[in-house]
């Protein structure tokens, strides 16, 4: 019981750190409210700034990709309790995100700057992106995605739940609405600096590679249901007209 209570406290702490780092991200990218942003920070030589920023982004991408793979999870849960696996993933991801905020070096040259209605439109797209990303987490299962459900289930002595395949509203438009939301938020800015562009380009490359790895795992997990879904629903760019019928929600192996 003490161990399960400790797991719950660990899960709650990890969720709190995630929430704070997630809330900081729009302010970091949008250059408002917070002291350290993508365009404000310690001055370095151009080459040194690029090197540091690339290393920071690679650390995040590698951790995210490796720790999300089923083979890694099988090995890792021989070392830590299964109920804490997702919270640990969330905690390490959040700490690496905080490391990016802290150590990011601005790279000043302006790539584009717009004002008036184009700036307002880009700002609206930026917020639509964050809203889409957040809404997508609730459409799959926000509390499972961020590890809280697992530690609460363990405290109640409930059996591990199988991951469910879901196709709620946003997942009928595209297969990766959360990633689509992030892409909009990364690119839609009235003032694009070279540093922001580096951030957007590298994260776009990572997202395009990451969704392919994720889909490989989803096909292995849900088989024909996911294959059928993949044929009917576009990956990231919604179709303007019409959408295919989708199979009902399925549990593992469906
Ligand atoms: C961070 S979420 C991102 C989901 C998706 N790539 C997106 O952009 O909306 C990653 C988790 O979502 C799960 N996932 C992705 N698509 C899913 C679906 N249609 N139903 C249930 N889980 C899904 C993956 O298995 C993974 O554990």
Q: Considering only CA atoms, which of 176, 178, 197, 177 is closest in space to residue 186?
A: 197
Return the residue matching tokens 């999300």.
Answer: 68
Give 121 Cα–ligand 1 centroid separation in angstroms: 29
Q: Which value does ipTM take for this structure?
A: 0.98
* Average pLDDT of every residue of the chain: 93
73 near 163, Cβ under 8 Å?
A: no
CA distance 34 to 18: 17
129 near 189, Cβ under 8 Å?
A: no
> Count of residues for the chain?
254
232 near 243, Cβ under 8 Å?
A: yes
Q: What is the pLDDT of residue 250?
A: 58
Q: What is the pLDDT of residue 43?
A: 81
- According to DSSP, residue 84 is labeled G
CA distance 58 to 164: 30
User: Beta strands 250-251 and 164-165: pairing type?
Assistant: antiparallel
Tell me which residues have their CB closer than 6 angstroms to ligand 1. 136, 140, 145, 165-167, 171, 176-179, 211, 214, 218
Give 140 Cα–ligand 1 centroid separation in angstroms: 7
* Tokens representing residue 72 in the block: 């890694």
Total domains, the chain: 1
pLDDT of residue 16 exceeding 80: yes
Which residues constitute the domain of residue 170?
2-251
Give 165 Cα–ligand 1 centroid separation in angstroms: 9
CA distance 174 to 230: 9
Tell the residue nearest (CA) to atom 27 of ligand 1.
145
- 25-74, pLDDT tens digit by residue? 999 999 999 999 999 998 889 999 999 999 999 999 999 999 999 999 99
Q: What is the pLDDT of residue 142?
A: 96
pLDDT of residue 238 exceeding 80: yes
Q: Considering only CA atoms, which of 129, 111, 107 is closest in space to residue 54?
A: 107
254 near 223, Cβ under 8 Å?
A: yes
* Main-chain dihedrals φ then ψ at residue 158, nearest 5 degrees: -75, 150
């Amino acid at each position: 019981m003490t161990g399960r209570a400790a797991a719950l406290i660990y899960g709650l702490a990890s969720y709190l750190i995630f929430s704070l780092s997630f809330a900081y991200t729009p302010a970091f990218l949008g250059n408002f409210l917070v002291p350290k942003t993508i365009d404000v920070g310690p001055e370095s030589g151009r080459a040194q700034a690029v090197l540091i920023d690339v290393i920071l982004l690679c650390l995040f991408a590698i951790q995210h990709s490796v720790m999300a793979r089923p083979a890694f999870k099988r090995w890792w849960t021989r070392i830590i309790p299964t109920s804490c696996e997702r919270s640990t993933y969330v905690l390490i991801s959040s700490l690496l995100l905080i490391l990016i905020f802290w150590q990011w070096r601005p790279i000043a040259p302006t790539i584009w700057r717009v004002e008036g209605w184009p700036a307002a439109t880009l700002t609206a797209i930026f917020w639509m992106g964050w809203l889409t990303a957040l809404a997508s987490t609730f459409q799959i299962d926000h509390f499972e995605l961020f590890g809280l459900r697992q530690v609460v289930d363990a405290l109640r002595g409930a059996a591990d739940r199988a991951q469910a395949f879901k196709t709620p509203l946003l997942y009928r438009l595209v297969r990766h609405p959360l990633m689509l939301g992030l892409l909009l938020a990364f690119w839609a800015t009235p003032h694009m600096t070279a540093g922001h562009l580096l951030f957007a380009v590298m994260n776009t490359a990572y997202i395009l590679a990451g969704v392919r790895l994720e889909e490989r795992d989803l096909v292995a997990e849900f088989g024909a249901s996911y294959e059928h879904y993949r044929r009917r629903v576009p990956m990231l760019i919604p179709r303007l007209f019409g959408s295919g019928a989708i199979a009902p929600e399925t549990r593992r192996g469906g």
